[in-house]
Amino acid sequence: MSPFSRFSGLLLAATLPLSAVAELPAERIEPSINAELAAHTKVFAQQVYRVADNVYSAVGWQLGNVVMIEAPQGLIIVDTGESVSESRKIMAEFRKLSDKPVKAVVYTHFHPDHINGVQAFVSREQVERGDVQIYAHETLLQNVVAQGALVGPILGVRSAYSFGSFLPASDQEGMNGGIGPLAKPEPSSFIAPTVTFGERLDTNIAGLDVQFLHVPSEAPDEITLYLPANRVLISAEVDQGPTLPNIHTLRGTKFRDPVQWVESLDKLRAYQAEYMVPLHGRPVSGQDKVEEVLRMTRDGIAYIHDQTVRWMNKGLTPDELVEKVKLPPHLAGYTPYLREYYGTVKHSVRQIYNGYLGWFQGDPVALDPTPPKQQAERLIALAGGREKLLLEAGNAYLKGDYQWAAELAGYAIRVDHEDMLAREIKARSFRKLGYASMNINWRNWYLMSAMELEGKLDGDVIRQRSVEMRKVFLSPDMVRSFTPQSFLQNWVTRIDPQKAGDVELTLGFSFPDVDEQWALEVRRGVAQLHKGIPKGTALRLSMDKRFMETLLTGEGGLVKGALLGDVQVDGNLLEIRRFLACFDFSDEAFGLTLR
């Protein structure tokens, strides 16, 4: 029996009373890959590319490249990948080319695929002794904190969906990550920068002149390196490599300003470099080719931005804009640099609108909308009931209108998360959309969401994987680099007003090893962090900074620390416990599709 015949049985079952539907007819949807996306995998074949006389780019081991610069007195490593184990393989390849000691590491920006593998190249002890310097923009550490601590829990879950962390091998075979091979995320081995700068730094590292430039673009702390001796530009992700740049990332991020990004690309064009080494994809050689890639990338981003703003100013909303703003053929066809392997025009357009105007599109009906479940119940009633709604959803599926099928089935799911027929229609629709998609992020979200709908992701699995992903953004090595202020500021958004509604207490924190004092005040459901400990504060804790991360376990960590002598407690222990009980440090298990 063909899949269509089996699904016709599903539609017949949908017309019967719910109690008569025993099970759904089977339909096998074989894993597949969009042909152009599959061909794109070849771009990331493992190879160490030699650029000019002394620059080497390791492409294909992990999502981000690692670059080695051989200076007269030692090596400079630019970005360290997301995986210590994979970066060790890269270092082994580099050691075939040079036995000089590593003298410096550069973080081009704060994203995990550029900083997490650092201890494959240098040790913490080498950095602490001053044998190795780590260069970065002055805001990198605060960006690491904001990403890993403040929104770490939700970012961990969303990143798992974006990177397809739960997908079986059959859905990943032959795949790539759009800007590199599939990501291999591991807990970070982060070491904090030792040399930071603002807008520009011209310096000499290990006998080699290096020009650093701050170029906000894909990240707000993005920096590039220019080597004037041989006109090599290490472009970080200002040029994001072989894809349309990701003006917005679906896993979640603050607004990436396209105007700034275009300005940064123009600054790179001014170098008139002979070679360009991006941190994703292959190097580019020849001044004319470097200029072409930078100019076309710049024009692609500018076109998306300018036309979005143009039509925004004519009153179009995001849903209308995505149908209006499309790259012209000479840009859309510029392979691979403007093909939609990683970024897309559609989700970029939505972010640009939101960045300028926010979520409100001008129709007051959105100010206080009917709650989603209640809205779904009313729409289903208008459709003639659940059975008629799902019959229409099934017909849409059979006609290949997978988006409409998924939208219709979604209404039934909002009313009843256990409506397995609706979940099956939506899951199958997502699989069809995912396997057809040329964009890796869209593909992963479709397929991960299909797994959730199919019941293949239970709460324990989601919790475990999201915790693993969170360690990519907030590992113990990262926490060691946090200041007491950045650590305690994270507590402010953890307060539970149900538990703290009647509490008015202040807890002082002393960190004698770094000579800092802070105080957290709980004031009837609101928490405020103060520099210094106010006079008269009766509840105090004293500990070395290295111990503060254990407080994330709440009272248990405090009691253990006090028993072991790592934490000194001053004040009424019951009141301290009452204070700590005001904060919510639990990690909930949740999916993103069953809503």
Q: What is the DSSP string of 245-264?
A: --SS-TT--S---HHHHHHH
Closest of 205, 167, 202 to residue 183, by C-alpha? 167
Burial of residue 582, with CB atoms counted within 10 A of its CB: 0-12 exposed, 13-18 middle, 19 or more buried: buried
CA dihedral sign, ordered 323, 327, 329, 335:
negative
Cβ proximity of 59 and 176 under 8 Å: no
List CB contacts of 475: < 8 A, sequence separation 6 or more. 116, 187, 188, 189, 190
Longest alpha-carbon distance in the chain = 80
Strand partners for 75: 70, 102
pLDDT in the model for residue 24 = 52
pLDDT value at residue 391? 93
- Contacts of residue 203, defined as CB under 8 A and 6 or more positions apart, other chains included, come to 209, 210, 212
DSSP 545: G
Give the C-alpha separation, 106 to 225, whole Å: 9
Q: Both tokens of residue 336? A: 């691979």
In this prediction, residue 407 carries a pLDDT of: 98
Give pLDDT, residue 550: 62
Nearest to 554 by CA among 584, 518, 594: 584
Tell me, what amino acid is at 135?
Answer: Y
Dihedrals phi, psi of 460, to nearest 5 degrees: -65, -40
pLDDT of residue 552: 53
Q: ∠ CA(479), CA(508), CA(485), 5° rounding?
A: 35
Distance CA 504, CA 127 (A): 44
Place of tokens 């269509």: 4
Counting as low any pLDDT under 70, the low residues of the chain are: 1-25, 459, 466, 549-557, 559
Asked whether 167 and 225 are in contact (CB, 8 A), the reply is no
Alpha-carbon distance values, 184 to 82, 276, 557 (Å):
7, 25, 31
Tell me if 561 sits within 8 A of 543, measured CB to CB. Answer: yes
Rounded distance, CA 218 to CA 361, Å?
26
Distance CA(67)–CA(55), nearest Å, equals 7
Give all domains of the chain, ordered by start, each with its CATH number: 35-357 (3.60.15.30), 372-458 (1.25.40.880), 482-582 (3.30.1050.10)
Residue whose C-alpha is closest to residue 248's, from 355, 339, 117? 355
The β-bridge relationship of strands 504-511 and 539-543 is parallel
Answer yes or no: are the C-beta atoms of 223 and 236 closer than 8 Å.
yes
Cα 24 to Cα 249, 395, 407: the distances in Å are: 36, 15, 19
Of residues 58, 54, 64, the one with CA closest to residue 46: 58
What pTM did the predictor assign? 0.92
Length of the chain: 595
Could you identify the residue written with the tokens 């053929």? 329
Question: Using CA atoms, how far apart are residues 468 and 465, in angstroms rounded to an integer?
Answer: 5
CA atoms within 13 A on the CB side of 594: 21
Q: Which residues contact 378 (CB under 8 A, 6 or more apart)?
A: 370
* Among candidate residues 551, 470, 478, 477, the one with its CA nearest the CA of residue 143: 478
Contact 205, 71 (CB under 8 A): yes
Beta partners for 447?
A: none
